[in-house]
Amino acid sequence: MLNCTKCNAPLSQNAVNTHSLVACPACSGLLRVDIFPAINRSLPVGRTGATLQVENEAGCFYHPQKKAIVPCADCGRFLCALCDIALYGRRICPLCLEKAKVHRKHKNLENHRTCFDTIALLVATVSMLIYWFTIISAPLAIYLTLRHWTSPSSIIPRSRIRFILAFIVAGAQIVGWILFFTQLAQST
């Protein structure tokens, strides 16, 4: 249902695909609405799987009462129509899908990543606001840099410049502390 995103009033056919701003008839808010053929497409009805009719027929691993139609491409378990998941041309089971997501076998299944390069740079730079804290954060930043140098970063390809900067900044802080303690020792 196409509604105004402000007042939720339904929009008329005259308001769509105009490539310019059109006023909502209810709230007078200006909108541009682009719709595509998918709007007329109904969602495919999910299959529930046929019940086993004959005893010696293969049953689903997860639903023993349902008829198996296809084996999982990863683990080989028999799957009914309900458990059958099509993923990039392969038919897999829900468990293998979950494993693929956890082990990052398919980039398009990932919905979260920890970018250790950004964390290392933040740890190295933000701690400078309270300078004495850098005595802890500088070694931490260097540890993060070395430990996660080869870990996957953002899903958008990028260089390791953040790691390099974090290393340089944390290194400079450690050198500063070494000089400070050396001078302190010499003065005492």
Which spans of this chain sit near other proteins (rule: CB under 8 A)? 1-23, 25-43, 108, 110-119, 122, 154-156
66 sits in the region (left: phi over 0; alpha: psi -120 to 50; else beta) called: beta
Please say which residue, 3 or 65, places its beta carbon nearer to other proteins: 3
The least distance separating other proteins from the CB of residue 37, rounded to whole angstroms, comes to 5
Please say which residue, 78 or 167, places its beta carbon nearer to other proteins: 167
At 11, the amino acid letter reads L
The least distance separating other proteins from the CB of residue 3, rounded to whole angstroms, comes to 6
> Could you tell me which of 69, 71, 68, 75 has the C-alpha nearest to residue 98?
75
Rounded Cα distance, 157 and 110, in Å = 15
Please say which residue, 4 or 68, places its beta carbon nearer to other proteins: 4
> Could you tell me which of 119, 118, 73, 117 has the C-alpha nearest to residue 97?
73
Rounded Cα distance, 79 and 99, in Å = 17
Please say which residue, 72 or 169, places its beta carbon nearer to other proteins: 169
> 86, 94 in Cβ contact below 8 A?
no
The least distance separating other proteins from the CB of residue 168, rounded to whole angstroms, comes to 18
Please say which residue, 151 or 182, places its beta carbon nearer to other proteins: 151
> 6, 27 in Cβ contact below 8 A?
yes
The least distance separating other proteins from the CB of residue 146, rounded to whole angstroms, comes to 17
